[in-house]
Chain A
């Protein structure tokens, strides 16, 4: 089961801004471990979107941005486009249970 909590869904009209939260605890995000974000288009494998809290890999539009504070992180999508309709997952490291990688519960973004 996921230890990082995300809202099940968010939606917005084209051009709008949406944000996705990722809430953890003192053994993962709160311990200072970095947060990474993935985009999963329908029927495809996850793709890295943001790494180390706020960095975009080459090729990822600057409409996507990440931030972190305390035990939570956020992904923002500005200028929402139809092609952004997908599932989004956060990921971090957790120092409990002998250490492991943990994912968020996932958020479905719908473009209205």
Chain B
């Protein structure tokens, strides 16, 4: 049973960067395809990017390309999502979630981390 435990609340100034972590237990990170999804207050879910199980590369949503970096530390089974040049619109809950299968197209996210609230405010 995969479990994902995320880091705590973050408050950042506009223009700063934030790095959110997601610790895996029950499996090793190398067995999983970790992705990140965010949810602004009162809004819907938005996919940001994650590991492509078919080519081994990281895929990013076009909206975040150049501003987001997703990395993994396999020695600690921890995934990271760093978002730079923060603005108020980046205020959201950020979730890590794993792809359930080893394909890209017909795939879904299960399970999810508990979420990390990132607030961007001066």
Contact: B62 with A98, CB < 8 Å?
yes
Interface size counted on chain B using CB atoms at 8 A = 24
Report A-chain residues with C-beta under 8 Å of the C-beta of B106.
Answer: 33-34, 52, 93
Task: Determine if A48 is an interface residue (Cβ-Cβ < 8 Å).
Answer: yes
Q: Which residues of A contact B (CB under 8 A)?
A: 2, 33-34, 36, 38, 44-48, 51-52, 57, 89, 91, 93, 95, 97-106
Q: Which residues of B contact A (CB under 8 A)?
A: 35, 37, 44-47, 59, 61-62, 95, 97, 100, 104-115
Known pairs A46-B97, A93-B105, A101-B47. 13 more at Cβ < 8 A? A33-B105, A44-B114, A45-B95, A46-B45, A46-B95, A48-B110, A97-B62, A99-B59, A100-B59, A102-B47, A103-B44, A103-B46, A103-B47
